[in-house]
């Protein structure tokens, strides 16, 4: 799946393959972690908090010697009723949430000795960007690149997470109160944007993280193994109300031109070859990622037995926070929403009357925190 990471030592005029990060495939670079839980799966699901959910995976920060550090960890947790949880942690330089989810599809298919529905697609010639001159920096990425990166884990430790489940009936009721054709993603993104910001007046901006696999003129297969997340900034007048804000998000998502995707790809490619310092992609501004298209519940290790629950987190998210819109176990219009916010904001959103009025069930709540 991956190898070890090391830094290339080529000169400034060396080939790109000899500069920046280099993957040495002398081994898989994957480490397994075996864990035990002293409760049944149902007991754990009924009592776990959003922060305790992170106990189901293992991650180790990169040390001074990246070559001996593993970019992939897989944790296998056994519950007392012989149920199992699989936790995967990996780095964005290798793949994105879609590719990570499809890794479990491939694992489950191999376990059942069948063929994966989404075979890995590793070397797309269409993405071989080679700009003749350094492209101008996209404004959003330029702003992120110039922002100061978090200096320690203290900022991430001050964040807290919670998961909200919206049954299909709740999502249908929410959509019925909005403009015709509103998508579940736009509806839920707008709802949480308004509630997290306290329904602030005036025009505001929200960063959206979108999968561009199917947004190209020559679309990539879902099995494309790599990072295909495009960050784009939407604007809306929050004083205009939920229907108008949701409609504005849908219009922005539908209107992202392919040229914008290529500009971002070319700029990132050029920047990587120049060995510039890394920068934080998720944050520090409030960011909402659309992941409800990902077939997370199709990884069946036994035919007909879907996962009880699938979740996703982005480690190191700091600043205003992150909202992930995911599919739900029952499928259809149902959705799960995972928020990672400053601890006080997470506790406040878990009690927010407007979020709960729209049918949200707090599945993995925040620990009791003093509201900020």
Q: Identify the three-state secondary structure at position 203.
A: strand
Whether the ω angle into residue 121 lies within 30 degrees of 0, i.e. cis, is no
Cα distance between residue 320 and residue 196, in whole Å: 9
| Secondary structure E strands in the chain | 4-7, 21-24, 30-36, 72-78, 84-90, 159-166, 203-211, 229-237, 287-290, 322-327, 335-342, 361-364
Q: Cα angle at 121 between 116 and 124, to 5 degrees? A: 165
Q: What angle do CA 154, 191, 182 make, to 5 degrees?
A: 135
Two structure tokens written together for 313 = 């987190």
pLDDT tier for residue 5 given thresholds of 50, 70 and 90: low
Q: Is residue 347 over pLDDT 50?
A: yes
296-313, pLDDT tens digit by residue? 999 999 999 999 999 999
The per-residue pLDDT for 89 is 93
User: 360, 166 in Cβ contact below 8 A?
Assistant: yes
Contact, 366 vs 346, CB < 8 A? yes
* Both structure tokens of 279: 């920068």
Give burial (CB, 10 Å; 0-12/13-18/19+) of 61: exposed
Distance in angstroms (rounded) separating the CA atoms of residues 207 and 199: 17
Strand partners for 338: 163, 324
What's residue 239's pLDDT? 92
- Cα torsion for 343, 344, 350, 353, to the nearest 10°? -160
Do the beta carbons of residue 279 and residue 149 sit within 8 Å? Answer: yes
Asked whether 306 and 297 are in contact (CB, 8 A), the reply is yes
Q: What is the pLDDT of residue 91?
A: 85
pLDDT of residue 131: 65
25-34, 61-70, 262-271, 284-293 — most confident range: 284-293
pLDDT in tens, 59-115: 888 777 777 788 889 999 999 999 999 999 988 878 899 999 999 999 999 999 999
Whether 30 and 72 have beta carbons less than 8 Å apart is answered as: yes
pLDDT attached to residue 369: 45
The pLDDT tens digits for 112-159 are 999 988 988 888 887 777 666 777 888 898 888 887 665 555 566 689
As given in the structure block, the two tokens for residue 116 are 């994966």
Cα 83 to Cα 97: distance, rounded to the nearest angstrom = 24
User: Which architecture, in CATH terms, is 139-364?
Assistant: 2-Layer Sandwich (3.30)
pLDDT tens profile 203-212 = 899 999 999 9
């Amino acid at each position: 799946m991956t190898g070890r990471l090391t830094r290339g030592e080529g000169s400034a005029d060396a080939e790109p393959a000899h500069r920046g990060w280099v993957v040495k495939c002398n081994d898989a670079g994957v480490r397994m972690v075996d864990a035990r839980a002293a409760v049944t799966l149902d007991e754990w699901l009924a009592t776990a908090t959003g922060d305790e959910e992170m106990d189901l995976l293992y991650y180790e920060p990169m040390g001074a010697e990246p070559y001996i550090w593993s970019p992939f960890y897989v944790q296998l947790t056994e519950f007392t009723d012989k149920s199992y949880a699989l936790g995967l942690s990996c780095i964005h330089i290798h793949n994105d949430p879609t590719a990570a989810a499809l890794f479990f599809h491939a694992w489950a298919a191999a376990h059942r000795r069948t063929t994966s529905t989404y075979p890995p697609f590793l070397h797309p010639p269409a993405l071989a960007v080679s700009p003749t001159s350094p492209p101008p920096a996209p404004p959003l990425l330029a702003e992120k690149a110039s922002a100061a990166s978090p200096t320690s884990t203290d900022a991430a430790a001050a964040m807290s997470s919670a998961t909200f489940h919206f049954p299909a009936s709740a999502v249908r009721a929410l959509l019925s109160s909005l403009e015709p054709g509103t998508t579940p993603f736009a509806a839920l993104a707008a709802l949480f944007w308004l509630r997290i910001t306290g329904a602030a007046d005036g025009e505001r901006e929200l960063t959206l993280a979108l999968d561009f696999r199917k947004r190209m003129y020559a679309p990539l297969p879902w099995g494309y193994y790599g990072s295909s997340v495009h960050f784009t900034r939407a604007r809306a007048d929050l004083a205009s109300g939920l229907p108008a804000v949701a409609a504005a998000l849908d219009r922005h998502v539908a209107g992202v031109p392919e040229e914008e995707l290529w500009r971002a790809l070319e700029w990132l490619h050029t920047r990587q070859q120049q060995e510039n310092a890394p920068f934080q992609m998720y944050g520090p501004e409030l960011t909402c990622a659309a992941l409800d298209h990902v077939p997370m519940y199709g990884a069946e290790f036994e035919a007909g037995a879907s996962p009880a629950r699938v979740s996703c987190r982005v480690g190191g998210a700091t600043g205003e926070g992150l909202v992930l819109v995911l599919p739900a176990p029952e499928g259809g219009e149902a959705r799960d929403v995972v928020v990672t916010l400053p601890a006080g904001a997470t506790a406040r959103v878990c009690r927010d009357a407007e979020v709960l009025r729209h049918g949200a069930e707090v599945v993995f709540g925040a620990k009791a925190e003093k509201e900020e």
